[in-house]
Amino acid sequence: MSMLGLGAVLFLTLNGASYAVAGAVSAVGALAGALVGPFVARAIDRFTQHRVLPVSVSIAVAFQIAFIALVVQGAPTWTWFVAFAIGEMFVPNVGSLVRARWAHVLDDQSDVRTAFAFESVLDEVIFVVGPPVATLLAVSVAPSAALVAAVLLLVAGTALLVPQRATEPPAAGLEHREGKAAIRYPGVPLVFGAFLLLGVIFGAYEVITVAFAAEHGHRAAAGLLLAAYALGSGVAGLALGAAHPSTPLPRQFLLALTGIAVVALPFPFVHSLWLLGVLGFVAGLAVAPSLITGMALTEQLVPSVRLTEGLTVVVAGIALGVAVGASLAGPVIDAHGASAAYTVVTVAGVLAGLVGWAGARRMRTAFEAAVAADAEAAAAA
């Protein structure tokens, strides 16, 4: 998860491509994943994980390998975009798959929320470990080493997940086919919009931080700087998962998005690696609460037969935002430098806060209606 996009940027820039081209390739890949991912998730909900994942992952691996080969052989630039995009299209959103399993095996909503917090912490551990490993592999072993490692991890993870049939949600079948798309349920578009802006932050921050470290003569420090951001998020995720706050989920989501807006403000004014690391850690403290509460809201807003699709749809918002953020950041870096490019992070953070406040009443109404509908269904059963 944390090595594919960064690995592509490192691979291309170390092979002489500009940050604009590298960011654009990463962006197109993220965009392809955002557009196709919900359809893969819909197939998983309908036919189960163990039937769909082997096919999806096989396609993803084949095209990621093709991408590496095309760049190494000096193929036309447009072929890089096509291969990487198809490779990203079929990479499954493992977080959504595992969260759907938690929701399937746990009955109590507070337990589900704790499990989601646990998953978010694991995600952040991945994003603490992944970037430094990817940077070290690309800089010290070979430019393509981070991508190769990511592909091997994808294969290994799929091989471990697919046989776990005891926790796998059953096929939804006809019931899934007759319902409406997950994005059409009230409240889901708001989570999608907020996650899209979070994705802009993530995509821009990753590309800009690689350039910031290179500008300061310490390219290898990029992985540590990205890890500090993820570490802050992981700490916040642990705290939230252990706390079991009584504040309603919509309110928690609003407060988390407000925090995202506030911590994004100072980034364009940072000109030191150490200061960026500290600020990245502090900013990361707002990330996990936003993701955890947004995922938990989605789990409430969509029916269980569409849970994988619903979670993948909102995560697709992040992927789409990553595409936008990476594509915006690259040209700004090339024209004005890395510090100025952090303005993209600031603007996206402020907009995320504004989206949260603008949709607060609508989200509260949608959440209360979904909870009431669940209670009615439980009483009828």
Reply yes or no on whether the pLDDT at 299 is more than 60. Answer: yes
Whether 176 is covered by a domain: the verdict is no
Structure tokens, 155: 């294969």
Does 179 score more than 70 pLDDT?
no
Predicted pLDDT of residue 176: 52
Within-domain flag for 113:
yes
In a domain, 150, yes or no: yes
Question: In angstroms, rounded to a whole number, what is the distance separating the alpha carbons of residues 53 and 59?
Answer: 10
H/E element holding 376?
A: helix 360-380
Answer whether 215's CB lies under 8 Å from 337's CB: yes
The verdict on residue 175 lying in a domain is no
The structural domain count of the chain equals 1
**Amino acid 174: pLDDT:** 57
pLDDT of residue 101: 92
**In CATH, what number is assigned to the domain containing residue 117?**
1.20.1250.20
Residue 187 lies in a domain: yes
Which tens digits make up the pLDDT trace of 320-372?
Answer: 887 788 788 888 998 889 999 999 999 999 999 999 999 999 999 999 998 88
Say yes or no to pLDDT of 209 above 80. Answer: yes
106 found inside a domain: yes
Q: Where are the alpha helices (DSSP H) in the chain?
A: 4-14, 19-47, 49-72, 77-89, 94-105, 109-136, 145-161, 174-178, 188-215, 221-243, 249-263, 273-284, 287-301, 307-336, 338-341, 343-358, 360-380
Structural domain boundaries enclosing 271: 4-169+181-380
DSSP letters spanning 297-363: HHHHHS-GGGHHHHHHHHHHHHHHHHHHHHHHHHHHHHHH-HHHHTHHHHHHHHHHHHHHHHTHHHH
Secondary structure letter of residue 207 according to DSSP: H
Predicted local distance difference test score (pLDDT) of residue 311: 86
Mean pLDDT to the nearest integer, 77-98? 92
Per-position b or e across 170-196, b if 16+ CB within 10 A of its CB: ebbeeebeebeebbebebbbbbbbbbb
Higher-scoring residue by pLDDT: 1, 271: 271
Residue 267 located in a structural domain? yes
pLDDT for the residue 380: 67
- Residue 174 included in any domain: no
- Going 349 to 237 to 182 to 255, the CA torsion angle's sign is negative
pLDDT of 219 above 70: yes
Structure tokens at 353: 């806060």
In angstroms, the CA 292 to CA 286 distance is: 11
Q: What gap in Å lies between CA 312 and CA 318, rounded to an integer? A: 10
